[in-house]
Amino acid sequence: MEVINNFSEIKVKKPLALVLGNFDGVHKGHQALINKCVYESRINGWEPSVLTFEPHPSVVLKGTSSIKFLSTLNQKKELMEKIGVKNLFLMPFNHETAAIEPENFIKKYLIDIFKAKKIYVGFNYTFGKKGKGTPHLLETEGSKWGYQVYVMDPVELDGEIVSSTVIREKYAAGRIEEVYKFLGYWPTLEGTVVSGDKRGRLLGYPTANLKLADSILLPAYGVYAALVELEGKMISAVVNIGTKPTFNSSSVTIEVHILDFHSNLYNKKLKIKLLKRIRPERCFKDGNELQKQISQDVITARSIISHHLKYLRI
């Protein structure tokens, strides 16, 4: 997959089919829309492509850095490439971009630059100044400029519409199995191992402290059974996410205890697939009580991971 953010250098060699959206999490709704584009592109000789904004429009429009997301840009790239996207166009989003009238956006980008043959959007997609651009406008302009439009209806699971907002709510509550059902894959935290306070080692359970991008949403504080992707292998782990109230800490940390593993992990990049929340964060009276609980957490995690590896696809 080719990633392009310099639109002045775009040279359309094959007809393009374009999926428009923000794709936080690249959940099952996004996947269905992109798959539709990939399938029809294969039939019609088009290049299946995605056009999205970077950074996410809400970061610019709301003027805040406190907005948290389900996925990093790198995770989006990997997920889209697996589906079959050939081009990922990253359009810089700023206040100038936000002020473009929808009709001008269609003419300048979809027609003049991309020469799109077909546009794919979700039922609630909006674009252009003040979000005035709608799927209906795309269809109206399509009859004028000669491109087709596909508007996907809501994708529902268990009576709920699959959306990034709903998934964020479930994730923030620690409901990992429901998040998995809506994403179609296990929620993943990616980061680099940094130096910590080494308390885990003193308790007999050494941990790797994971540094994430500030923009990434964390699940509910607590202890999780997980799998760690390290150098092409999947290794069982227990992950603690929270502020370590037993030690009067206020900073949020992600501590990973990899089971039956003793090598140095400093500065290594890890991918953590969360499988299930074992328990919420607690304050223990002392280190001994915490140590006993961690021992029980490890037993519980082994059982959960064994079940997932035996019966579920990881």
pLDDT tens digits, 181-195: 999 999 999 999 998
pLDDT of amino acid 286: 80
Place of tokens 């206020």: 250
Q: Which two tokens stand for residue 165?
A: 């907002």
pTM: 0.92
Share of the chain above pLDDT 70, in %: 95
Residues 27 and 94 in one domain: yes
Dist. CA 95–CA 100, nearest whole Å: 9
- Tens digits of residue pLDDT in 164-182: 999 999 999 999 999 999 9
Q: What is the DSSP letter of 131?
A: G
| 221 shares its domain with 154 | no
Same domain membership, residue 257 and residue 146 = no
Which token pair is 90?
């990253």
DSSP, res 217? P
DSSP state of 259: T
C-alpha neighbours within 13 Å on the C-beta side of residue 183: 26
Rounded CA-CA distance 116/18 in Å is 6
pLDDT category, 284, cuts 50, 70, 90?
confident
Q: Residue 184's closest CA among 285, 297, 273, 90?
A: 273
What's the pLDDT score for residue 314? 56
Judge whether 166 lies within some domain: no
Residue 171 inside a domain? The answer is no
Query: Cis bond leading into 206, ω under 30°?
Result: no
Quote the distance between the C-alpha of residue 32 and its chain's center.
Answer: 16
Is 195 found in the same domain as 123?
no
Could you tell me if 259 and 138 lie in one domain?
no
Distance CA 207, CA 197 (A): 10
pLDDT tens-digit series, residues 225-269 = 999 998 788 999 999 999 977 777 778 999 999 998 888 888 989
CATH code of the domain in which 142 resides? 3.40.50.620
The amino acid occupying position 61 is L
Q: Indicate the pLDDT class of residue 65, thresholds 50, 70 and 90.
A: low
- Type of residue numbered 169: E
| 103 in the same domain as 15 | yes
pLDDT of 277 strictly over 80 = yes
**Residue (of 247, 281, 251) closest to 174 by Cα position:** 281
> Is 209 among the domain residues?
yes
Task: Examine the pLDDT at 72 and tell me if it is beyond 70.
Answer: yes
pLDDT in tens, 102-112: 999 999 999 99
Please provide the DSSP assignment of 35-97 as one string.
HHHHHHHHHHT-EEEEEEEES-HHHHHTT-S---BS--HHHHHHHHHHHT--EEEEEE--HHH
Q: The domain that contains 250 carries what CATH number?
A: 2.40.30.30
> Residue 71's domain spans which residues?
2-160
- What is the rounded CA–CA span in Å between residue 161 and residue 170? 13
pLDDT of residue 246: 72
Map residue 86 onto helix, strand or coil. Answer: coil
The Cα 19–Cα 211 span in angstroms is 32
